[in-house]
């Protein structure tokens, strides 16, 4: 049974006690900045590896033993807290430093290929050299994991598919899209060359398909194509990088005059 709002509030107070000293520097705000009106200290929520938000409720049984119970926080409950002006934040955990994951970009000079991933294990493997030749570029962008919540705004999120181009066809590269029609087209047109790895790598907002504009409080993500047989794409929120890649004969793909393919959380 879902927790009542009053019981959730009690759990949230407990979260403040647990979190306020250890993670005061954490800035994973779950409510839009403009909605925060309370002068009280932030309220902290926990989240698990599936990015489900929850808090802990401590009570005593008939024998005066303390019992700790997990209480999941629904999107509606979070929205209610934000509407009350409360500064609600997410505690980092052992697996994730932030509730808002980062997609980190890598570059392989030998291949002249770029690769971006938000998967913690892949990032660790690339950093440690398990996959030789890859180095961080210093570029990244923030993504979403849950839909819908106040932190993602009133606009729905879309899952991002990821495909792998097989080396047997001279590819050895990855492709991302947030548009279901484009994901389906890859499977339909090149079923032997491109292997679907996931239909839910992460979540983003969609740009307007006519002019490429993004919803308020989001950042445009551009995709550029290298126009070579060994296909590669670069994904960036930087207009300057976009222009640099175009000067190297990379072609922008996407919607609107700038070629916007996704809308991500601003940094």
pLDDT tens-digit profile of 62-84?
888 889 899 998 878 888 888 89
Q: CA 10, CA 215: separation in Å to the nearest integer?
A: 35
Q: Which tokens in the block code for residue 119? A: 């998967």
- Nearest one of 169, 156, 162, 252 to 212, comparing CA atoms: 252
pLDDT at 30 over 90: no
Mean pLDDT confidence for 164-175: 96
Q: What percent of the chain has pLDDT over 70?
A: 86
- The label of the residue with tokens 């403009």 reads 34
Higher pLDDT, 265 or 167: 167
pLDDT at 131 over 80: yes
**pLDDT tens, residue by residue, 35-64:** 789 888 888 899 887 778 899 888 888 888
pLDDT at 100 over 60: yes
Q: What percent of the chain has pLDDT over 90?
A: 56
**Predicted confidence band at 129 (pLDDT cuts at 50, 70, 90)?**
very high
Range in 13-17, 140-144, 189-193, 257-261 with the lowest mean pLDDT: 13-17
Residue 238, CA atoms < 13 Å, CB-side half-sphere = 13
Q: CA 35, CA 29: separation in Å to the nearest integer?
A: 11
Looking at residue 144, what DSSP letter applies?
Answer: B
Q: What is the mean pLDDT of the chain?
A: 86
pLDDT at 210 over 90: yes
* Cis preceding linkage at 148, omega within 30: yes
Q: CA 129, CA 24: separation in Å to the nearest integer?
A: 34
Say if pTM beats, i.e. exceeds, 0.85.
no
Q: CA 242, CA 258: separation in Å to the nearest integer?
A: 9
Length of the chain: 267
């Amino acid at each position: 049974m879902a927790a009542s709002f009053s019981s959730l509030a009690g759990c949230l107070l407990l979260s403040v006690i647990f979190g306020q000293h250890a993670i005061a520097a954490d800035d994973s705000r779950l409510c839009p900045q403009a909605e925060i009106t309370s002068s009280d200290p932030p309220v902290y929520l926990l989240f698990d590896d599936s990015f489900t938000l929850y808090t802990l409720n401590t009570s005593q049984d008939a024998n005066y033993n303390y019992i700790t119970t997990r209480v999941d926080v629904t999107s509606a409950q979070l929205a209610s807290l934000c509407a009350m002006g409360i500064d609600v934040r997410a505690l980092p955990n052992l697996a994730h430093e932030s509730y808002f994951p980062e997609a980190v970009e890598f570059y392989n000079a030998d291949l002249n290929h770029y690769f971006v991933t938000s998967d913690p294990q892949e990032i660790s493997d690339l950093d440690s050299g398990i996959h030789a030749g890859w180095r961080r570029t210093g570029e990244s962008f923030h993504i979403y994991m849950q839909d819908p919540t106040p932190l993602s705004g009133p606009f729905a999120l879309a899952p991002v598919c990821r495909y792998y181009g097989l080396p047997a066809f001279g590819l050895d590269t990855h492709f991302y899209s947030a548009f279901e029609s484009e994901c389906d087209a890859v499977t339909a047109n090149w079923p032997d060359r491109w292997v679907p790895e996931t239909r839910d790598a992460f979540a983003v907002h969609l740009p307007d398909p006519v002019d490429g504009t993004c919803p308020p409080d989001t950042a445009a993500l551009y995709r550029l194509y290298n126009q070579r047989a060994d296909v590669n794409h670069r994904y960036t929120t930087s207009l300057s990088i976009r222009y640099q890649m175009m000067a190297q004969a990379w072609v922008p793909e996407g919607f609107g005059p700038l070629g916007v393919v996704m809308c991500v959380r601003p940094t």
